[in-house]
């Protein structure tokens, strides 16, 4: 039996999330493949692809935690990026072939500020031809590599903030906070066009994702030094803690038993005046249900009418 198979035998960790500081020159799927070899991990995924050349926060749910992935997919992201002016590439980043060039010239700071300000708020983006979005079940980048680039319809994304950090033409360093699904390389290409000299993404670092920041992340190299599930557990954020923005309700013994048996739930199972229930019902949102020991029992959806609560997922522990 190979040594790697031996490392995978034994204890399986409880569900949770590992926040990885992704290195450059490695795909997000490649990070997942390497983490899956670690002791204690049976299932693993990630909640937002980073391009191979990009670095930064990659949220990786493990084991039962993979069932929480959908609650992270649509959260906001924050990036630190470098825009290189003067060149357009077919991939909209520095890995592609240059397809157009224009002298940058002496662009004023006021002109740069004015163009950047146009991209704050709701904007329309055409997804890049070299992306993982699919057309007829095939990723767009495969169509593009086969000489048949597909243009998807423009879609609306939201830029909460976009702040210039440094200008040393032809490069502009900036930070951007945006909704999931925003393409920073498309943003760079569009800014370059409006400045009249083309542009592409030179560097990209994800600083925040799904409520997790760089301070929460651990390097892949450090993770790969662990030799037991017990050692790896120190880097795992438990499921209840990982759902940072979701309101919590602690169940008593009777409610916990009812949930573990999958019985229907309604408002009468909860404290009618509990502010968590009231606010979640007002927003038609989700609540995480905790056991008395604060482990995650379930995630439920609370409709506006506060009746017929729906189970999103229920978790069982040995």
What is the rounded radius of gyration, in angstroms, for the C-alpha atoms of the chain?
23
Give the Cβ contact number of residue 129 at 10 Å: 20
Q: Report the distance separating Cα 217 and Cα 77, nearest Å.
A: 15
Sequence length of the chain is 318
Expressed in angstroms, the distance from the first to the final Cα of the chain is: 28
Q: Which of 166, 232, 196, 205 is nearest to 77 (CA)?
A: 205
Q: Which of 153, 127, 129 is nearest to 141 (CA)?
A: 129
Q: Report the distance separating Cα 269 and Cα 279, nearest Å.
A: 16
Instruction: Tell me phi and psi for residue 223, to 5 degrees.
Output: -60, -35
Beta carbons of 13 and 63 less than 8 angstroms apart: yes
Q: Report the distance separating Cα 84 and Cα 19, nearest Å.
A: 29
Beta carbons of 140 and 129 less than 8 angstroms apart: yes
Active site residue 51: yes
Beta carbons of 289 and 259 less than 8 angstroms apart: yes
DSSP state of 6: H
DSSP state of 212: E
Residues contacting 231, CB < 8 A, separation 6+: 39
Instruction: Tell me phi and psi for residue 210, to 5 degrees.
Output: 60, 30
Give how far Cα 316 sits from Cα of 78, 238, 270, Å.
34, 14, 21
Catalytic residue, chosen from 21, 51, 75, 216, is: 51
Tell me the catalytic residues. Answer: 51
């Amino acid at each position: 039996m190979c040594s790697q198979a031996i490392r995978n035998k034994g204890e399986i960790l409880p569900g949770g999330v590992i926040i990885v500081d992704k290195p450059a020159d490695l795909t997000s799927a490649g990070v997942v493949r390497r983490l899956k070899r670690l002791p204690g991990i049976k299932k693993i995924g990630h909640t937002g692809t980073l391009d191979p050349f990009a670095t930064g926060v990659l949220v990786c749910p493990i084991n039962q935690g993979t069932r929480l992935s959908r609650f992270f997919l649509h959260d906001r992201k924050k990036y630190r990026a470098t825009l290189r002016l003067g060149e357009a590439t077919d991939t909209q980043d520095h890995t592609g072939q240059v397809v157009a060039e224009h002298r940058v010239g002496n662009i004023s700071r006021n002109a740069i500020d004015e163009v950047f300000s146009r991209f704050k708020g709701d904007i329309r983006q055409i997804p890049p031809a070299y992306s993982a979005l699919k057309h007829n079940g095939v990723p767009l980048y495969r169509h593009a590599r086969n000489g048949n680039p597909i243009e998807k319809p423009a879609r609306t994304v939201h830029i909460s903030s976009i702040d210039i950090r440094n200008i040393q033409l032809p490069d502009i360093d900036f930070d951007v906070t945006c909704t999931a699904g925003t393409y920073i390389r498309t943003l760079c290409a569009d800014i370059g066009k409006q400045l009249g000299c083309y542009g592409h993404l030179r560097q990209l670092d994800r600083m925040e994702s799904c409520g997790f920041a760089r301070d929460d992340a651990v390097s892949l190299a450090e993770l790969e030094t662990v030799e037991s599930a017990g050692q790896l557990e120190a880097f795992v954020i438990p499921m209840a803690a990982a759902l940072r923005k979701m309101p919590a309700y602690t169940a008593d013994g009777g409610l916990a038993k009812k949930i573990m048996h999958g019985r229907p739930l309604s408002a009468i199972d909860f404290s009618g005046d509990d502010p968590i229930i009231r606010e979640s019902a007002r927003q038609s949102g989700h609540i995480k249900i905790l056991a008395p020991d604060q482990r995650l029992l379930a995630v439920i959806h609370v409709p506006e009418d506060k009746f017929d609560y729906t189970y999103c997922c229920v978790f069982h522990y040995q």
